[in-house]
Amino acid sequence: MFEKVLIANRGEIAVRVARACRELGIRSVAVYSTADRDSAVVRLADEAVCIGPPDSRQSYLNAAAIVEAARKTGAQAVHPGYGFLSEDPDFAEICAENGLVFIGPRPEVMAALGDKARARALLAEAGLPLPPGSMAPVGTAAEARAVADEIGHPVIIKGVAGGGGRGMTLVRSADDLGPAYERTRIAAQAAFGDDRVYLERYLTQARHVEVQVLCDGYGNGVHLGTRDCSVQRRHQKLVEEGPAPALSAATLDALAETALRGALHVGYTGAGTFEFLVDEAERFHFIEINCRLQVEHPVTEMISGVDLVHEQLHIAGGVPLRLRQEDVRLHGVAIECRVNAEDPARGFVPTPGRLTRFVPPTGPFTRVDTHGYPDYLVGPYYDSLLAKVVVWAPDRELALNRMERALHEFEVAGCGICTTIPFARRVLDDPGFRKGRYTTGLVDRLLGVPEATGDEPFPTSPARRTR
């Protein structure tokens, strides 16, 4: 096991990793920008190193500064958290070249899976069902139009190097395709340094369901059940729960087994998430792999009793997977609500400011992952996530009631600060959500935004059906 780990991230995930390190007797090193000198992780970690100014390109995305901080402090490994450099194969390679263990998949695996078009082809080899779309990047608007004509509208244009809900454009009609193609390509270049895009058929009335996997470097792997992440704004998640509700046991099992088969096929190591779209007939289609810890990982931890960060550290340290599939026992229901410093009434725009009051909820089976505290300055430079409220209960009805109670208790106030707490309570009150029968269109429906319309969901040939 490592003696010292550098945490190449900030916010609540940096706090989460620092705590896991302390529990395992590992010394932790925090890195921070000048804007984050008063952050919670700087106080909690054993050491802290300033790596640059607020601009993330000069701090949290500055691989050279992070590696130098690791070398200077004697860290043996780097935990990237999520976002920033967590899915950057070049950064993982740089770590290896400097004698540092990158806590995540091998660089070559991450490179293959980070290229979404390449990942589609690779997972098709493993028999994972894919939504209709282009198996390779589309190079021109005319080529994109030809693909869309073949698979039918609506379609979604995605950046090959995209992730985290960014780099996507929904196109409802052929008339909008050309301009949308150009916008997405330009946005992808600006966000990811890669302007390649591909197309998929957009599934209306779909649910976004994902499967957590853990794999070691010796060919062993387990799945830890499903999470439903359909409550999204701009393809970014707001509420997550596990297991995915209102799906048959056969579908839940098939999803989990399919994900694990894919992970073992590509030689995955560490914690990863396979994402699927599930239609009304419970047919599912693989869309992408997240080669990192997910924001919503506490949901899986609450229903499985498995500490995913502990397992990441053990696997990266060369320890064979300590779980077998028959050891995994999922119990009850867990729900997570993200608390972002955003104003839902204004399109979820960030609302930076100084917190004057910050009192997270407590109580039975209630967990809050946060870096916030009274007098903390929520700056304009980074992601607006302020906290994650997670509850567990033996059944879904009690879990929903427990989450309502927790959100009611959560007190957040500050100059200019708005949060997504009131909107999360609207979600919990929605009759469709209460029944567990909701889709990725829920947020738009609550906001009065028309959902995409199109033909029937994906025509699925017998060869593509996985039940």
73 and 6 Cβ atoms separated by less than 8 Å: yes
Q: Express the helix, strand and coil content of the chain in percent, nearest 5 each.
A: 35, 25, 35
Nearest Cα to 149, choosing from 178, 192, 182, 125?
178
353-359 and 333-340 beta bridge pairing? unpaired
Residue 342: strand pairing partners: 350
CA distance 238 to 220: 32
CA distance 194 to 89: 14
Catalytic annotation present for 16: no
Torsion of CA 287, 288, 293, 299, to 10 degrees: 10
CA distance 252 to 17: 29
CA distance 170 to 154: 7
Supply 57's token pair: 């390109």
Q: Which amino acid is at 366?
A: T
Instruction: Return contacts of 320-325, CB within 8 angstroms, 24+ apart.
Output: 320/216, 320/218, 320/220, 321/214, 321/215, 321/216, 321/218, 321/220, 321/221, 321/222, 323/214, 323/222, 324/222, 325/222, 325/223
Nearest Cα to 258, choosing from 459, 442, 123?
123
Supply 346's token pair: 């204004």
Give just the sign of the alpha carbon dihedral 97, 317, 26, 213: positive
Burial of 345 (0-12, 13-18, 19+ CB in 10 A): exposed
Produce one character per residue of 64-100: b if its CB has 16 or more CB atoms within 10 Å, e if not.
Answer: ebbbebbeebebbbbbbbbbbbbbbbebbbbbeeeeb
**DSSP three-state, residue 166:** strand
In the block, which residue shows the tokens 């929904």? Answer: 170
Which of the residues 185, 292, 338, 367 is marked catalytic? 292
Nearest Cα to 376, choosing from 343, 409, 324, 412?
412
Catalytic (active-site) positions: 292
